[in-house]
Copies of this chain bind each other. A is one copy, B any other.
């Protein structure tokens, strides 16, 4: 079975998620600088989520690129990942409108955590479908980023009830960690 339509469908869903989040940035009624101020938390949430969806699209691109073929189970693992990412517009809006308060920040982290686990599951499934000499397996290697991220998200969820800015700092930190493009797969393909 080809990878083409899986990529096309995922691209479509990710493109829509990344774009409809901006609909939560409602145009304010006033036209002064003071009308923009209250939008700041929503805007910052949007930027963070935009970067996260960008990271997922980027890594997904590399992941599928290195995959040899996809099975029925891979299709569903991919939909499972898209499900959690599809909740990002909701959690982004909730966190932004409520100025990063405790529970919205925790729920935001929870969705990130579930998406990370879904991505990990998808990666494992593709590896096992590809068999022992999986190009992806070599490329991913120890996958310390993939293993560290859920730990940070979980810490973020817990700290959001104590000091919510610490949770935000953790979410930003993980995003920056992934922003460095994943050259492992590019390298493995070249060799």
Contacts and interface: CB of A to CB of B under 8 A. Distances in A.
- Chain A interface bracket (under 10, 10 to 19, 20 to 34, 35 or more): 35 or more
A15 B19 CA distance: 10
Nearest to A78: B54
A33 to B, nearest CB: 7
Contact of A9 (B11, B23, B83, B102): B11
Given A31-B103, A76-B54, A9 B15 contact: yes
A58 B75 contact: yes
A186 B70 CA distance: 11
Contacts of A191: none
A101 interface: yes
A98 interface: yes
A152 to B, nearest CB: 21
A130 interface: no
Contacts of A129: none
Nearest to A74: B181
Contacts of A148: none
A64 to B, nearest CB: 8
Nearest to A21: B86
Interface stretch (A88-96, A120-128, A139-147): A88-96
Contacts of A27: 24, 90, 93-94, 97
A167 to B, nearest CB: 14
Contacts of A83: 47, 50
A169 interface: no
B20 A19 contact: yes
Interface string A58-98: 10010001000001110110010011001101100110011
